[in-house]
Amino acid sequence: MSFDLTFECVLDLRCEVAESPVYDERRDCLFFVDIGRGMLHRAELSGTNQVEWNLEGGACSLGLAQSGRLVLAQRDRVVLFDPESGAIVRQVAAVEPERPDTRLNDGKVGPDGAFWAGTMHEVAADRRPIASLYRVTPAGAVERKIDNIVCSNGLAWSADGAVLFHSDSRGPWIDRWQFDPATGELSGRQRLVDLDEATGRPDGAATDVDGHYWSAGVSAGVLNCFSPDGRLIKAHPLPVPAPTMPCFAGADRKTLFVPSLRPTDSGEESRAGGIFAARSPVAGAVVHRFDDRRL
């Protein structure tokens, strides 16, 4: 599977760190965050009717919920946010509130209906493997699933829910696990690929219906497409230096949206920090929803 993608800027927001795009098929819109400014954004796929919320406590990653609300990772807690009222309606769980040197980072809803979110060591001068990946249930239970991570990232599940992909942006590596969609249990860890700055440190990710793993190469300005066994099929270039996470969207799930971060030395003409889109010949895997129906 080799093809070219042509990315165009659909939202020139110049975010500090645009991240965690999620397509809501019920509303036919895109939600994403700007981690640097602690903001949650909503926009139509055309880039119009853009709405934003400035959230006390920050915004690091998000997922959809069964009720129509959003499950949102803030710095050290997971909450439910209602986009209709524009308010956080309840806290689901606290995650590492005692650790001032870590914060929540990449997060997604799994096939098990739980919210999976990892932390990162936030001290840039002394990054150490003290972060973890957590499973947060609708009942508020918090379970550490993987530890010894510097910057947890790259969460994505295969279309059948039987495989979890996960990365460490500072490893930098990507692993794959056998995943039980009924219980959320992990087993059979395998190293998918080791990476470097030139190939692209693995940031956020997504999967398609054919089992490929799409990883934003944040250090190389590319979207890397890997086969299920870790072979790099193609590195798709973007017109900005630091893409952060892909998301398949639209009724056919064949439009790839990729946000980006804006380096401090970006020129006025640069669209870094914007949202980019391209049509894909393959559809993305279905996104799961947090089971908040009793909350």
Give 88's strand partners.
81
Mean pLDDT of the 250-264 span: 97
Is position 165 within any domain? yes
Q: Is the pLDDT of residue 178 over 90?
A: yes
Kindly state the average pLDDT of the residues 257-284: 95
Question: Is 25 assigned to a binding site?
Answer: no
**Cα(178)–Cα(222) distance, integer angstroms:** 27
Q: Of 207, 176, 204, whose CA–CA distance to 285 is shortest?
A: 207
Flag whether 295 is in a domain.
no
**3 domain residue, yes or no:** no
Least-confidence region, from 51-55, 126-130, 139-143 = 126-130
For range 116-136, the mean pLDDT:
92
- Domain range for 78 is 8-290
What number is the average pLDDT over the span 102-126? 94
Region 241-251 average pLDDT: 98
Q: How confident is the model at residue 30 (pLDDT cuts 50, 70, 90)?
A: very high
Number of domains making up the chain: 1
Q: For residue 270, tell me if it sits in a domain.
A: yes
Q: What is the mean pLDDT of the chain?
A: 97
Structural domain contains residue 1 = no
Residue 257: what pLDDT? 99
pLDDT at position 140 over 70: yes
261 belongs to a structural domain: yes
Please indicate if the annotation marks 105 as binding a ligand. Answer: yes
Would the annotation count 294 as a binding residue? no
- The predicted model gives 235-243 an average pLDDT of 98
- Residue 124 reports pLDDT greater than 80: no
What pLDDT does 28 receive? 97
| 59 part of a folded domain | yes
pLDDT of residue 211: 97
Looking at residue 225, its pLDDT comes to 98
At residue 210, does pLDDT exceed 90? Answer: yes
In a domain? residue 256: yes
Query: Residue 295: pLDDT band by 50, 70, 90 thresholds?
Result: confident
Q: For position 111, what pLDDT does the model report?
A: 98
Catalytic residue among 112, 168, 203, 291: 203
Annotated active-site residue 203? The verdict is yes
19 among the known binding-site residues? yes
Give pLDDT, residue 271.
95
Quick check: pTM over 0.85? yes
Those residues with Cβ within 8 angstroms of residue 150's Cβ, 6 or more apart along the chain or in another chain: 120, 121, 127, 128, 129, 130, 131, 168, 169, 170, 171
CATH number at residue 92: 2.120.10.30
Confidence class for position 103, pLDDT limits 50, 70, 90: very high
Quick check: 125 pLDDT over 70?
no
pLDDT tens track for 61-72: 999 999 999 999
Q: Would you say residue 116 has pLDDT above 70?
A: yes
Determine if residue 56 is labeled as part of a ligand binding site: no
pLDDT of residue 294: 85
> Residue 269 — very low, low, confident or very high, per pLDDT cuts 50/70/90?
confident
Q: What is the pLDDT of residue 236?
A: 98
Residues 162-184, mean pLDDT to the nearest whole number: 98
Mean pLDDT of 165-173: 98
